[in-house]
Amino acid sequence: MAIVSLLLGLPSWCYPLIALGVVLSIRLKKSSKVDNKSGKPFGPESNVPVSVNYFPSRKCNYSCGFCFHTDTSSYVLPIDEAKRGLRLLKEAGMRKLNIAGGEPFLYPRLLTELLQYGKEELSLESISIVSNGSKITESWMEKNCQWLDILAVSCDSFNPETNRKIGRGDDGGNVLRLFRIANWCKKYGIKFKLNTVVNVHNWDEDMAADIERLAPFRWKVFQCLIVAGENEDATRLRDARDFLVTDEQWKTFCDRHKHLPCYVPEDNTSMASSYLLLDEYMCFLDKGEGMITKSESILKVGVRKAMDQVVWDKASFVDRGGVYDWGKSNTQEINNCGGGGGGDKRLDW
């Protein structure tokens, strides 16, 4: 009643201004939600780091011959600094965090802290991990499943000898681990995804039957890539030149598997600069055009200035469906390669 009495006591010329203020307030409230909800427009003109791929460590227990993020440093950021960086990214507009490496599961406690902080403190819409699968355990999955939306596992072949040639371990257990991890994902409500790099050792392999059995919600297929400063010649830790495939070999592999609903190919052109990459020092990396450039750390100069120092091809990011409903889903109800995972065609990670 006091508010009503106050309004009635105002001069009549105040009422239009009050009405205008209410309208503007509603519009501003609506627009402020656009950059914080999945499925809302994100155009090439936007400079919001909506999805960030973070490499907390370069250390890896495998030696894949074509790796383009090699073990050139053993540095791991102190957890408090890593959290500070993630908060800066969240404040700048990050909604999805993908943790890769190196092999992230060499640091299971660090992973747990990052996941829990990202979900409980930052309320990130989605967190995913990319792993070679060798160090994943069911006990870790059970303890951390509430914070993990997507688990991607690298799988370049279902042939033990081919995996040895590539450098993906030599114990022959890759395939058995893959199926165990796929079952754990289903059991604990995590979306299961596969990544494959097409190279000289696997381009003629028919993976369709095994992919259907594994039933990933997404199978991302990459063309082997050369990145200057990482794997371009014998002076680097990895020399990927002997792993490259011709355009015809790439097309042959793609044609053999394109009938699978979960299959998403990505050639070198598509990969160039369309990912927002953050290294172990929290510097942005640009690996487009076959070269690598590096920003200053966001911990030193902030997110905006660091982003200005690299090229992020936002048009390519948008074209490949970079923003989607990336939260948890009922993995029993999503159509995919084999009926057990998920399959929205926009899920391009």
Q: Which of 60, 145, 185, 262 is catalytic?
A: 60
The pairing of strands 283-286 and 293-297 is antiparallel
CA separation for the pair 218, 211 (Å, rounded): 10
Q: Which residues contact 333 (CB under 8 A, 6 or more apart)?
A: none
Catalytic residue selected from 64, 155, 262, 283: 64
Ramachandran region, residue 225 (left: φ > 0; alpha: ψ -120 to 50; beta: rest): beta
CA angle, 325 then 331 then 334, to 5°: 70
Residue 262: active-site member: no
Distances (CA, A) of 98 to 124, 277, 311: 11, 9, 19
Catalytic residue flag (residue 155): no
Q: What DSSP designation does 109 have?
A: H
Give the integer Cα–Cα distance in Å for 233 and 216.
34
Catalytic residue among 14, 67, 155, 224: 67
Tell me whether residue 64 is one of the annotated catalytic residues.
yes
The amino acid at 54: Y
Distances (CA, A) of 338 to 29, 147, 275, 315, 320: 42, 25, 28, 32, 23
Do 243 and 200 contact (CB within 8 A), yes or no? yes
Residue 136 vs residues 6, 70, 158, 184: alpha-carbon distances, Å: 65, 21, 19, 10
Catalytic positions: 60, 64, 67
